[in-house]
A and B are shown apart, each in its own frame.
Chain A
Amino acid sequence: MDIDDILREVDPTFHSVPQETRDLQDLTRAWVAERSAPELLHWPAGGLFERINDNIKRQIEKVEEMTGDMDPKTNFALIVIQTELERFKYLVRSYLRARIAKIDRHTLHYLSTDELRSRLSEMELAYATRHQALLHNHYLSSFLSSFPPVLQNLNDTAGNISMIDAPDLESAVFIRLLKDTLVESRGVDNDGEMDGRESDIVILRWSDAKRLVETGCAELI
């Protein structure tokens, strides 16, 4: 134990990471995970996006204020702030687009059960519901209405074959372990397991990796 450890015990805020930096890290992690996972992940809890949106709004106002200033020092600061703002906006945009692409592809699947519905944010849920309703109306008016009524459903499960397309949970993902843990996986010829060490990088199926990622033992990369 050295002086840092003692200080940390006395004052938990010692060396603590500022909230803004933690938000950026959480956003980056959520973005990477969302882009690598084959299915939609949970919308981040704890008001992360509200905080980030507030920050972005505040920063845009600041940029507008500073644009009027002709002082070269302010100009340099403006470049740095604008660059940072663009970076934040890029992350947010790319994250939301990755989610919307998944929702678009499997809308009915994500609207089918309450568990899946709870993964969407309020706006996403509204978007998915409305998008699906529009699509269904369009299909009805263009061709479905000429089908017999029993064949008009888009979520038919007759004959043990569901019409609802679901994401492929068996596709492979890369994960990095954050803790020493046992990694189990199902394979074609036999099922494998290994004692994973922290910061090991492993390829396995998403259905096997999901448990590790959800418990925080691993992160998607």
Chain B
Amino acid sequence: MTRCATWRPKRKLNLLRSIIRFSPRLSSPVQSQDSAALIRRANIVTPPWLLHPVSLSSIINRETKEDPVAFSPPPPPPSRAIPFRTRHRPALGREQRGCKPRPAVPALLHRRRAGRISTITLARGSRGAARRDDMPAPAGEVRSLMRDLVEVRAAKLRSSTSAFEGFGDGLMSLTGVGAMELAESRGFVLGVVDGVGKIGASAEATRREGEEAGGRRDDDEESDEDMGI
């Protein structure tokens, strides 16, 4: 979750002996005051579809019109992802051997298929849009679409807590939500869920007592029948 950037190589850092071994794809950061130049020279990649107004508006359309409740589907998990490149296959092998996957799903970082959105890419995109000047469309348009998308998803996350209003079944799926969106709304969502749980605590205790008493009564009846009474 703390590893959010995909780097492309310009210079190799093989000679450095660091605590973790740098992958050969990691490039060296370049010191510069100019952040745009830094992003270009460090080669942080924004998926091209993310900076295009057509694909952005199609995602917004899906988020708002087609399915106003659920989030867009996340990228497939590593074990189900279709390997686009051979070098991403090891993730699949490790999964099958029962090793733990990485903290951040690699699919979130590497796959660049339009429509499968993760907030890591979204955040990276908005950073890219803020600083790039060679975009395929007018920067203002892309930025406003990007802001719309971020706001739509944040509003969805907030409104999803209404599922708990009716004291639901204590389980809520938020599949598709991104790590950074979650971090932003964590306090609010957990506060609502815990608060509702506390308000309904006595009702729940009563229900459980009732269920237990009911279960006991059923047992008693059965045993009565067994005895032929």
Do the two shown chains form a genuine complex with each other? yes
A190 to B223, CA, bound (A): 28
User: A20 an interface residue at 8 Å Cβ cutoff?
Assistant: yes
Give 12 CB contacts A-B under 8 Å.
A5-B93, A12-B97, A76-B28, A79-B31, A80-B28, A174-B190, A185-B170, A188-B201, A189-B167, A201-B173, A203-B189, A205-B197
Q: When each residue 3-36 of chain B gets 1 if its CB lies under 8 Å from chain A and 0 otherwise, what string results?
A: 0000000000101111111000000110100000
User: Closest residue of chain A to B163, judged by CB?
Assistant: A203
- Chain B residues numbered 77-120 whose CB sits less than 8 Å from any CB in chain A: 77, 79-80, 86, 89-90, 93-94, 97, 99-103, 105
Judge whether A29 and B103 touch: CB under 8 Å: yes
* Range for the number of chain A residues in contact with chain B: 35 or more
Judge whether B16 and A25 touch: CB under 8 Å: no
Residues of the A chain whose Cβ atoms lie less than 8 Å from the Cβ of B201: 188
Residues of B within 8 A of A (CB): 1-2, 13, 15-21, 28-29, 31, 74, 76-77, 79-80, 86, 89-90, 93-94, 97, 99-103, 105, 166-177, 179, 182, 186, 189-190, 193-194, 196-197, 200-201, 203-204, 207
Given contacts A172-B194, A203-B189, contact A28 B103 (CB under 8 A): yes
* B93 touches which of A4, A173, A201, A202 (Cβ 8 Å): A4
Given contacts A25-B100, A188-B203, A198-B80, contact A77 B16 (CB under 8 A): yes
Q: When each residue 192-220 of chain A gets 1 if its CB lies under 8 Å from chain B and 0 otherwise, what string results?
A: 11101111111111001000000010000
Judge whether B93 and A8 touch: CB under 8 Å: yes
Q: When each residue 76-94 of chain A gets 1 if its CB lies under 8 Å from chain B and 0 otherwise, what string results?
A: 1101110011001000000
Q: When each residue 149-188 of chain A gets 1 if its CB lies under 8 Å from chain B and 0 otherwise, what string results?
A: 0000000000000000000001111100010000101111
Which one of A42-50, A54-62, A98-106 is at the B interface? A54-62
A123 to B77, CA, bound (A): 38
Q: Which of A55, A172, A185, A197 has the most CB of B within 10 A?
A: A172
Judge whether B18 and A32 touch: CB under 8 Å: no
* A18 touches which of B20, B170, B197 (Cβ 8 Å): B20
Judge whether B170 and A201 touch: CB under 8 Å: no
User: Closest residue of chain B to A199, judged by CB?
Assistant: B77
Interface of B is mostly: loop
Judge whether B102 and A25 touch: CB under 8 Å: yes
* B90 touches which of A4, A203, A204 (Cβ 8 Å): A4
Judge whether A203 and B193 touch: CB under 8 Å: yes
Residues of the B chain whose Cβ atoms lie less than 8 Å from the Cβ of A15: 89-90, 93
Q: Which of A24, A80, A194, A203 has the most CB of B within 10 A?
A: A203
Judge whether A55 and B19 touch: CB under 8 Å: yes
A201 to B157, CA, bound (A): 12
Closest-CB distance, A88 to chain B (whole angstroms): 6
A59 to B207, CA, bound (A): 58
A88 to B171, CA, bound (A): 35
User: A191 an interface residue at 8 Å Cβ cutoff?
Assistant: yes
User: A10 an interface residue at 8 Å Cβ cutoff?
Assistant: no
A60 to B172, CA, bound (A): 46
Judge whether A17 and B94 touch: CB under 8 Å: yes
A214 to B146, CA, bound (A): 39
- Chain A residues numbered 60-83 whose CB sits less than 8 Å from any CB in chain B: 62, 76-77, 79-81
Judge whether B169 and A203 touch: CB under 8 Å: no
Judge whether A203 and B20 touch: CB under 8 Å: no
Judge whether A188 and B170 touch: CB under 8 Å: yes
A190 to B80, CA, bound (A): 33
Given contacts A25-B103, A32-B103, A199-B77, contact A170 B174 (CB under 8 A): no
A172 to B203, CA, bound (A): 18
A20 to B193, CA, bound (A): 38
Judge whether A80 and B1 touch: CB under 8 Å: no
Residues of the B chain whose Cβ atoms lie less than 8 Å from the Cβ of A172: 190, 193-194, 197
Residues of the A chain whose Cβ atoms lie less than 8 Å from the Cβ of B102: 25
Residues of the A chain whose Cβ atoms lie less than 8 Å from the Cβ of B189: 203
